[in-house]
Each structure stands twice: as structure tokens, then as C-alpha cells.
């Protein structure tokens, strides 16, 4: 069965493809196509090896489809594998809706009935998953990540970059404390204004402001000093021996930035470092914002994200959620602030538990004392 699938990658066909298109394509395009085909070939060979290894275990291999997913599995464990993938896919289907783009990827479960690995084949490259059919939860987690990763990879590039390729979750399950901490404690004017309720500041902090992303406008002088301190602390500590000839000049500029409250000096030092300043809110915040947009947009939201042809993230997210951009931002921010407030410290449970253990240890001390 597998050899049929592999036939499209056989070398003669490969060379034929190369020859027939050579006349009409530039050399760069041909090289690009060649390397893409090579990558597909190596994926297929790798998959063939896995299939062969399953055969060596005297376990015939079967292929079946779950939604848009092709699954290859040893026949001895086909029921387990099918139920795992079906269960995960049902959850995703309920969220992403239909119609979906065609996903050509398969799972190859190794070592029938035992803890093993699965080869997951996204369109580009391949990856191994730890899959143990006897440990249903961890297997489902791996498969969920693989499918979520694939769904993210299918998004337009602007959106993928915005969320740093975070796999699409079945349901939003943010780390409330971390998100809230980021909003409250990120040293940036935009972050502080965002917490106070400024929607435009929130868009600026995620790098999706209407004016475009200019980090120089998002940091106060004190914030800039913090950035400079972070970026130059190691160099300053190591001294001229490590840094080189113009250390003294740099040291003077560094001290000037930290002591004189001159924005220009700090900005030039940051520019000099070469490393670009990221948006105040990082990928976790940006990904969560996208997940809220999907949640708000309901079943057709993912399809709208796939179809987005705008380069402006703010417009894309508004289209995905079918809400006004500022309403979406307001929804996201109040959600995080309200959730965090409702999850603040409650020491009563801990006190009750401590009382219990105090009693237990007390009993041990009395019962096991020298005079018992």
C-alpha cells in the first residue's frame, strides 16, 4: 500500500518533472522546486522506513482517513489509533468548522501496542511524536498539538508571524496569572495605558497599531533605561578586555543614558546593539488575542482567518471575530483583568490544610513520644 504512495517520488519521475519544466522556468525557481521535491522525497523515504519496520514486526499496515487527516497505523492497533485521532479531530472540527483546506498529513504509529513514536508529516518536513496508545491522555495531547500546529501553519503568513506559530488550541486555556502579569508589569507606556483601558494602546503594544510599529514611541525614558540596562549589563560587567577598543566611549554613553534622562542617548545605544526591540506584549499575549478572536467569531472564524488577504493584523482579527477591532480588544482585556481578580489569593484552603497536618504531626508526636 505504501509503495503506491511512494511512487510519485521515484527518481525517474522526478527527473522528468525537472526536464519538462526547465525550458519555461528560471534557474532559481527550478532550484526551489528541486529542493522542495527533495524534501518530499526524504519525508516519503523516512515514512517508508517506519512502515517497513512495522512490517518487520509482522504487523500489516493500514491507512484510513479521519476528516482531512490520513492515518497510517499497524493493523493490530488500528482501533486505538482511530479512536484517538477521531476524538481529537471531532473537537477541532467543532471549533474550526467546514469547509477546511485539504491537509495531507499522516500519522505513522510505530511498534504496535507498545509505547512508540509516530511520524507526523506536515507539508514541509516531518516530526516525530511520542505516542503511547496505552497512555491515552498523552497521546491525545501529542496529536492535538500536531493538528493544532498544522492548522496554524495553514494561516496567512502575517497571522502566523503575529502568533509566532503557536499551535491552534481546541479551546482557549490561558495562563491568567502570566497574561495579567504581562499586561500590568511590562515596562512600556503602551502596556500601562492598555491596562488603564486604552484600546489603541493595546493595539500598539501588540504591534498592530494603525500608525505602524515604532518602538521608540512605546517606551518612556525610564523604560528605555531599563532596556539599555538589560542589553548592556553583561558587556559593562565584562569590561574593556572583552568588549574591545571603544569600551570607554560606550561606557560614557551608557552612564549618560542611565543618569541624564536623555531619550536620544538611550535610543542610539539600543539602535547600536542591532537587536530589534520586540513589541511590548510578546507572542503569548498576541496568540491569546487571536484565540479570543476565534472564540468570538464562532465556527466560521478559522475559515475567515484562512481567507484573510489583508496585511493589517487589526483588520484581520476584526474580520475573524466579526467584531469591531476595539470591541474585540476591550473584550480581551476586560476578560483577563476580571478573570485574574476572581482568582486572587485565597489562603483559607491552605489554612485548613495546614491545620489538618498540624493535627496529624501532633498525633504522631504524642503517640510516638518517649513515654507512650
Does 102 engage in binding with other proteins (CB under 8 A)? no
Q: Minimum Å distance from CB 222 to other proteins?
A: 11
Write each residue from 23 to 62 as x if it is in contact with other proteins (CB under 8 A), else as -, in one continuous string.
----------------------------------------
What is the pairing mode between strands 106-109 and 127-131?
unpaired
DSSP state of 215: G
Segment interacting with other proteins (CB under 8 A) among 36-44, 53-61, 118-126, 346-354:
346-354
Q: Minimum Å distance from CB 141 to other proteins?
A: 19
Q: CA-CA distance, 2 to 61, in Å (whole number)?
A: 9
Using alpha carbons, select from 157, 158, 151, 191 the residue that is nearest to residue 282: 191
Angle 282-287-288 from CA coordinates, rounded to 5°: 105
Q: Nearer to other proteins by C-beta: 160 or 340?
A: 340
Name the residue with cell 492598555. Answer: 194
Angle 27-29-35 from CA coordinates, rounded to 5°: 100
Which of 56, 102, 212, 368 is in the footprint of other proteins by CB under 8 A? 368
Q: Nearer to other proteins by C-beta: 2 or 180?
A: 180
Does 181 engage in binding with other proteins (CB under 8 A)? yes
Q: Nearer to other proteins by C-beta: 13 or 362?
A: 362
Which of 130, 178, 216, 238 is in the footprint of other proteins by CB under 8 A? 178
Which of 111, 192, 253, 333 is in the footprint of other proteins by CB under 8 A? 192
Q: CA-CA distance, 64 to 71, in Å (whole number)?
A: 5
Taking the mean position of all CA atoms in its chain, how far away is CA 41?
A: 27
Q: Minimum Å distance from CB 125 to other proteins?
A: 30
Write each residue from 125 to 164 as x if it is in contact with other proteins (CB under 8 A), else as -, in one continuous string.
----------------------------------------
Q: In Å, how far are 54, 162, 213, 309 from 204, measured between CA atoms?
A: 53, 13, 7, 21
Dihedral (Cα; 45, 157, 302, 103), 10-degree rounding = -10
Which of 38, 90, 164, 351 is in the footprint of other proteins by CB under 8 A? 351
Does 372 engage in binding with other proteins (CB under 8 A)? yes
Does 22 engage in binding with other proteins (CB under 8 A)? no
Using alpha carbons, select from 194, 191, 174, 195 the residue that is nearest to residue 226: 191
Name the residue with cell 511498534. Answer: 111
Number of amino acids touching other proteins (CB under 8 A): 37
Q: Does 343 sit behind a cis peptide bond, omega within 30 degrees of 0 on the bond before it?
A: no
The answer to whether the beta carbons of residues 77 and 88 sit under 8 Å apart is no
Does 350 engage in binding with other proteins (CB under 8 A)? yes
Q: Nearer to other proteins by C-beta: 99 or 357?
A: 357
What is the pairing mode between strands 116-120 and 106-109?
antiparallel
Q: Could you say which residues in the range 206-265 bind other proteins, by CB under 8 A?
A: none
Name the residue with cell 536623555. Answer: 262
Helix (H) or strand (E) holding 116: strand 116-120
Phi, psi (5° rounding) for residue 228? -65, -45
Which of 196, 212, 264, 274 is in the footprint of other proteins by CB under 8 A? 196
Write each residue from 314 to 343 as x if it is in contact with other proteins (CB under 8 A), else as -, in one continuous string.
-----------------------x--x---
Using alpha carbons, select from 326, 313, 316 the residue that is nearest to residue 279: 313
Q: Which residues bind other proteins (CB under 8 A)?
A: 177-178, 180-181, 183-187, 192, 195-196, 337, 340, 344-345, 347, 349-351, 353-354, 356-358, 360-362, 364-372
Amino acid at each position: 500500500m505504501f509503495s503506491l504512495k511512494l511512487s510519485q517520488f521515484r527518481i525517474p519521475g522526478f527527473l522528468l518533472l525537472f526536464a519538462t519544466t526547465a525550458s519555461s522556468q528560471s534557474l532559481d525557481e527550478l532550484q526551489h522546486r528541486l529542493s522542495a521535491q527533495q524534501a518530499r522525497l526524504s519525508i516519503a523515504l523516512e515514512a517508508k522506513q517506519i512502515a517497513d519496520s512495522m512490517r518487520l514486526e509482522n504487523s500489516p499496515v493500514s491507512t484510513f482517513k479521519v476528516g482531512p487527516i490520513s492515518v497510517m497505523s499497524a493493523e493490530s492497533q488500528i482501533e486505538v489509533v482511530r479512536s484517538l485521532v477521531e476524538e481529537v479531530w471531532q473537537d477541532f472540527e467543532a471549533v474550526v468548522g467546514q469547509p477546511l483546506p485539504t491537509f495531507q498529513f499522516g500519522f505513522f504509529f510505530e511498534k504496535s501496542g507498545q509505547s512508540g513514536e509516530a511520524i507526523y508529516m506536515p507539508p514541509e518536513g516531518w516530526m516525530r511524536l511520542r505516542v503511547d496508545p496505552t497512555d491515552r491522555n498523552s497521546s491525545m495531547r501529542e496529536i492535538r498539538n500536531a493538528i493544532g500546529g498544522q492548522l496554524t501553519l495553514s494561516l496567512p503568513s502575517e497571522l502566523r508571524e503575529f502568533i509566532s506559530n503557536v499551535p491552534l488550541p481546541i479551546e482557549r486555556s490561558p495562563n491568567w496569572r502570566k497574561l495579567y502579569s504581562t499586561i500590568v508589569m511590562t515596562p512600556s507606556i503602551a502596556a500601562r495605558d492598555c491596562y488603564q483601558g486604552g484600546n489603541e494602546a493595546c493595539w500598539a503594544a501588540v504591534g498592530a497599531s494603525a500608525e505602524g510599529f515604532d518602538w521608540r514611541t512605546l517606551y518612556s525614558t525610564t523604560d528605555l533605561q531599563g532596556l539599555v540596562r538589560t542589553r548592556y549589563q553583561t558587556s559593562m560587567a565584562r569590561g574593556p578586555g572583552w568588549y574591545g577598543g571603544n569600551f570607554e566611549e560606550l561606557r560614557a554613553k551608557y552612564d549618560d543614558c542611565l543618569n541624564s534622562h536623555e531619550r536620544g542617548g538611550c535610543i542610539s545605544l539600543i539602535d547600536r546593539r542591532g537587536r530589534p526591540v520586540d513589541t511590548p506584549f510578546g507572542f503569548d499575549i498576541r496568540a491569546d488575542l487571536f484565540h479570543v478572536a476565534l472564540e468570538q467569531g464562532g465556527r466560521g472564524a478559522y475559515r475567515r482567518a484562512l481567507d484573510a488577504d489583508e496585511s493589517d493584523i487589526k483588520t484581520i482579527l476584526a474580520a475573524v471575530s466579526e467584531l469591531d477591532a476595539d470591541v474585540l480588544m476591550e473584550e480581551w482585556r476586560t476578560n483577563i483583568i476580571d478573570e485574574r481578580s476572581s482568582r486572587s489569593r485565597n489562603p483559607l484552603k491552605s489554612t485548613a490544610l495546614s491545620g489538618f497536618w498540624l493535627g496529624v504531626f501532633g498525633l504522631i508526636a504524642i503517640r510516638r513520644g518517649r513515654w507512650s
